[in-house]
Amino acid sequence: MKKEMLKKVCLLSVAAMTLGAFTGMPAQAGYTLNPEVKDATPALKQAAEIGVRKHETEALKNEKDKDAILVLSFGTTYKNSREKTINKTVEDIQAAHPNTKVVLAFTSHIIVDRIGQKEGIEIPTPEKALARLKEEGYTRIAITSLDVIPGMEYAYDTAIYDLYKNDFKKMVVGTPIMYWMGQEDQRDDVEEFVQALATQFPKTGKDEAVLVMAHGTPHPANAYYSVVQNRIDVANLGNVFVYSVEGWPHLDTVIPQLKARGIKKVTLMPMMMVAGDHANNDMAGAEDDSHKSVLEKDGFTVDTYLHGLGENPAVRKMFVERANEAWDALEKQ
């Protein structure tokens, strides 16, 4: 029994660990099953679908091609930040694909409702956006994400893909800006992201630091923040520390490190697509429990940088590249 179980584990391990190598083409950044794997089951095939995923529906193969790009973002009720970040990124994606319909949808249904009530603007959920595209005769959809890491929000993106892919002739879902991290022959999205993020860092002295506030998530993808910190350290970017508002590491994880290095002044900045509620209130608010207030009570001088990642041209470029990857996978025969 143990030998049989071990054999099964080994076979699955071989299938999973030798799925293939990075193809070298950004649009096809994924793995393929090892040719030694014969008669792969649907479950094994789906497990091997990492990176840019694509699906073609055999029953709809004779439909005429009519393509669209669906951009998915969590969204924000902060109109000013939304226009400078999400809307600007969508504009850049549209500029890269001038003859293609580009649709924006928000994955936060609460934000969709609030924007509708406060601004009278209808921003669809992914479900409504796809239903509308279907009604308009679109048959091939490239889904691209404005997520930073493949956490819970990206899990929603891929769930949308899994639930609706059979409704269209072809559907593709791309990756967040951070997905690969240099494993095997993969590119290092985290290193590229850190380089882009560093373009907005202020110059700091020996007793100054930058605290980058991530969102945080109960999803295992929270581990990406540790990789971000590693790439920051490897790049010798100085006293830069990543912490999160709803995950790990926490602010109180970082404060002892600041004191150990003799830091007197810090600059707080969000590592989020928008400078919304978390940035304006949790990070920079006047309340006693805001991060700014907590640090000031602990004797630090605090500056705040209230700009979302979408305002950073280098970061927006990465989002456009991810959209291009999804589009290229959609167009590839």
The CA radius of gyration of the chain, in Å to the nearest whole number, is: 22
Contact 96, 320 (CB under 8 A): yes
Q: Judging by beta carbons within 10 Å of its beta carbon (0-12, 13-18, 19+), is residue 293 exposed, middle or buried? A: middle
- Runs of H (alpha helix) within 136-222: 152-164, 189-198
Q: What does residue 71 show for φ and ψ, rounded to 5 degrees? A: -100, 125
- Location of structure tokens 């819970």: 152
How far apart are alpha carbons 237 and 291 in whole angstroms? 22
Q: Judge whether 131 and 143 are in contact, CB under 8 Å.
A: no
Type of residue at 220: P
Q: Answer whether 212's CB lies under 8 Å from 241's CB.
A: yes
DSSP state of 64: P
H/E element, 279: none
Helix, strand, coil distribution of the chain in percent, nearest 5: 45, 15, 40
- Asked if residues 216 and 153 have their Cβ atoms less than 8 Å apart, the reply is no
55 catalytically annotated: no
The single residue of 215, 278, 291, 307 carrying the catalytic annotation is 215
Which residues partner with 301 through β-bridges?
265
Catalytically active residues are 215
